[in-house]
């Protein structure tokens, strides 16, 4: 009994090894099967030889049994029977066309833009955005207790001026972006009508801002991560009204964004990211009723976000972004009083802002012909909300109050865009942004025009 149980264990191990060997040989598609070592047929169950794991032993012989003789597997001493042909090695099957259904778990080693099952997501246009991240900081005079007409200290009075782009101006929000990491280079142009305003008793004076943004995004880690760098450059801002003026040159804050793809299938992509704005931009210089004010661009802003991209059908596509803008530190303020010949300094920390963006688009035309020049046309409708998550910090520096004098922010903008695709890898995009609310605290401009050129790499 002991020998029989020992033989059964060895036979089970040998059979398991043979099955695994056959499976691995078929999976690796070898040119020739690995020959099994020769097997010595035992005379009885009592004197079974030690067989290697890859060879299947014969069962113990029984006297007079017609099954005593078993055919042996092919080996060096027992060649393969004539007529049996070894299956040739199969060439790897080519990838399916981009529009063919494919398991979401196939080709995961490829970047998202090249994974066949991500065809619709990869081709979907980016979010336009509204780029309403201009300054929410105003400058206004404050009353002094030695003023017989205005005895209350620290109460704003007189006119005000909005700080132009440059110092103390938020310069980034998710614009021309999407959840799916993408290799691309881009340039944007934004025109903001009446984005800077000097308000006073004699009426208001408005100034426009024209801005270019240059950037590149590159994927890594098999396309599940991407890093993006963008730099905005604005035309010089210079407006004057009486004793009040606002000036800033065009260098903006450098933005570096890191994005990670959390989940993706053929219809949806979910990503999280973090953008960091470095204070590389210019300062803002304000002339205000005899005082020369400089808002020093020193703050670093952290902007974590979540992004969802969806393509539930061949024609419809959607984007959802949720982002928070947190100032890690403040901007310095320097006020020179040309009457008293004194200089005062202070610091202001911007409010924490919440950005919510929803975008819906529809493909009116898609052409997959490789000879076509215009390969796609889509329209896009978007809503963008910006709100303050805390009260504004008002810095009283000398006779000047600096900060968001309206305290709260509730901005709602609408974007209407047209996306054109050329040879599938180049996009030319146009959009108009219109504020839907009134009031100085609820709109940063009267209208915005966007033009974008995006090249997929």
Does the residue 96 lie in any domain?
A: no
- Is the residue at 105 inside a domain? no
Q: Are residues 330 and 219 in the same domain?
A: yes
- Domain boundary among the residues 53, 81, 109 is at 81
The verdict on residue 144 lying in a domain is yes
Q: Provide mean pLDDT across the span 101-122.
A: 56
pLDDT score for 207: 80
Q: pTM of the predicted model, to two decimals? A: 0.71
Residue with the bigger pLDDT between 115 and 250: it is 250
Give the SS3 label for residue 16. helix
Same domain, yes or no: 168 and 256: yes
Average of per-residue pLDDT across 97-113: 42
Averaged pLDDT for residues 140-157: 48
Residue 336 within any structural domain of the chain: yes
**pLDDT > 70: what percent of the chain?**
65
Examine the domain organization and report whether 134 and 60 are in the same domain: no
**Dihedral class, residue 68 (left if φ above 0, else alpha if ψ from -120 to 50, else beta):** alpha
Q: Does residue 94 form part of some domain?
A: no
Same domain assignment for residues 353 and 434: yes
Range of the domain at 3: 1-81
Q: Say whether pLDDT at 378 is over 60.
A: yes
Query: Residue 121 pLDDT more than 80?
Result: yes
Residue 387 has pLDDT above 50, yes or no: yes
Sheet holding 291-295, edge to edge: 237-241, 244-248, 284-288, 291-295, 331-337, 342-348
What is residue 281's predicted lDDT score, i.e. its pLDDT?
83
What is the per-residue pLDDT for 288?
80
**Number of domains, the chain:** 2
* 146 and 77 within one domain: no
Mean pLDDT across the chain: 76
Same domain, 153 and 73: no
Give pLDDT, residue 260: 96
Q: How far is CA 105 from the centre of its chain?
A: 22
Q: How high is the pLDDT of residue 107?
A: 40
Assign 283 a pLDDT band (cuts: 50, 70, 90): confident
Contact 231/213 with Cβ under 8 angstroms? yes
The answer on pLDDT for 145 being more than 50 is no
Same-domain check for residues 141 and 15: no
**Residues 55 and 198 grouped into a single domain:** no
**Closest residue by Cα to residue 161 from 210, 196, 194, 132:** 196
DSSP for 230-271, written as a single string: EEEEEPPEEEEETTEEEEE-SB--EEEEEEEEEEE-SSEEEE
Tell me: do 420 and 296 sit in the same domain. yes
**pLDDT reported for residue 2:** 41
The residue from 44, 62, 81 where one domain ends is 81
27 lies in the same domain as 146: no
40, 182: one domain: no
Domain annotation covers residue 34: yes
Are the beta carbons of 141 and 287 closer than 8 angstroms? no
pLDDT, residue 128, reads: 95
* Residue 90 located in a structural domain: no
Residue 138: per-residue pLDDT: 72
pLDDT at 174: 82
**Arithmetic mean of pLDDT, 1-10:** 48
pLDDT of residue 433: 95
Question: Residue 25 — φ and ψ, nearest 5°?
Answer: -65, -40
Please indicate, yes or no, whether residues 167 and 67 belong to a single structural domain of this protein: no
Sign of the CA dihedral 20, 42, 38, 84? negative
Q: Give the end of a domain, one of 20, 48, 81.
A: 81
| pLDDT average, residue stretch 434-449 | 85
CA distances from 349 to 136, 254, 294, 332, 393 (A): 11, 19, 15, 9, 6
181-210: average pLDDT: 83
Instruction: Return the CATH number at 307.
Output: 2.40.160.40
Q: Tell me the C-alpha distance between 349 and 329, whole Å.
A: 6
pLDDT of 44-62, one tens digit each?
Answer: 444 444 544 444 455 554 4
Query: Has residue 124 been placed in a domain?
Result: no
């Amino acid at each position: 009994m002991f020998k029989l149980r020992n033989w059964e264990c060895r036979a089970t191990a040998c059979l398991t090894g043979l099955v695994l060997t056959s499976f691995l040989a078929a999976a690796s598609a070898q040119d020739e099967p690995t020959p099994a070592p020769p097997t010595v047929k035992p005379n009885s169950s009592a004197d079974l030889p030690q067989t290697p794991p890859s060879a299947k032993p014969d069962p113990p012989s029984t006297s007079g049994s017609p099954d005593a003789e078993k055919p042996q597997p092919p080996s060096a001493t027992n060649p393969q029977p004539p007529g049996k042909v070894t299956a040739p090695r199969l060439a790897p099957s080519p990838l399916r066309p981009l529009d063919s259904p494919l398991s979401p778990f196939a080709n995961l080693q490829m970047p998202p833009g090249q994974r066949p099952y991500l065809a619709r997501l990869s081709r979907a246009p980016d979010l336009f955005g509204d780029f309403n991240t201009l300054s929410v900081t105003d400058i206004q005079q404050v009353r002094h207790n030695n003023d017989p007409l205005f005895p209350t200290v620290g109460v704003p009075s007189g006119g005000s001026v909005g700080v132009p782009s440059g110092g103390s101006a938020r310069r980034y929000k998710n614009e021309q972006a999407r959840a799916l990491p993408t290799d691309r280079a881009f340039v944007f142009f934004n025109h903001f009508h009446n984005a800077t305003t000097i308000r006073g008793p004699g009426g208001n004076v408005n100034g426009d801002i024209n801005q270019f943004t240059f950037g590149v995004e590159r994927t890594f880690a098999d396309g599940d991560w991407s890093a993006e760098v963008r730099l905005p450059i604005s035309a010089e801002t210079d407006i004057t009204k009486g004793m009040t003026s606002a000036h800033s040159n065009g260098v903006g804050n450098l933005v570096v964004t890191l994005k990670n793809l959390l989940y993706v299938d053929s219809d949806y992509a979910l990503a999280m990211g973090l953008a960091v704005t470095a204070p590389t931009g210019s300062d803002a210089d304000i002339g205000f009723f005899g005082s020369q004010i400089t808002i020093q661009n020193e703050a670093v802003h952290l902007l974590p976000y979540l992004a969802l991209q969806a393509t539930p059908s061949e024609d419809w596509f959607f984007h959802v972004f949720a982002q928070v803008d947190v100032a890690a530190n403040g901007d310095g303020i320097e006020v020179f009083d040309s009457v008293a010949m004194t200089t005062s300094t202070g610091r202001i920390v911007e409010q924490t802002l919440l950005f919510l963006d929803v975008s819906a688009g529809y493909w009116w035309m898609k052409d997959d012909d490789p000879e076509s020049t215009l390969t796609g046309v889509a329209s896009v409708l978007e809503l963008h909300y910006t709100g303050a998550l805390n009260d504004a910090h008002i810095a009283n520096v000398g006779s000047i109050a600096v900060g968001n004098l309206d305290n709260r922010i509730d901005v709602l903008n609408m974007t209407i865009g047209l996306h054109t695709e050329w040879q599938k890898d180049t996009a030319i995009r146009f959009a108009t942004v219109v504020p839907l609310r009134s009031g100085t605290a609820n709109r940063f401009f009267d209208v915005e025009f966007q033009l974008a050129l995006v090249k997929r790499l």
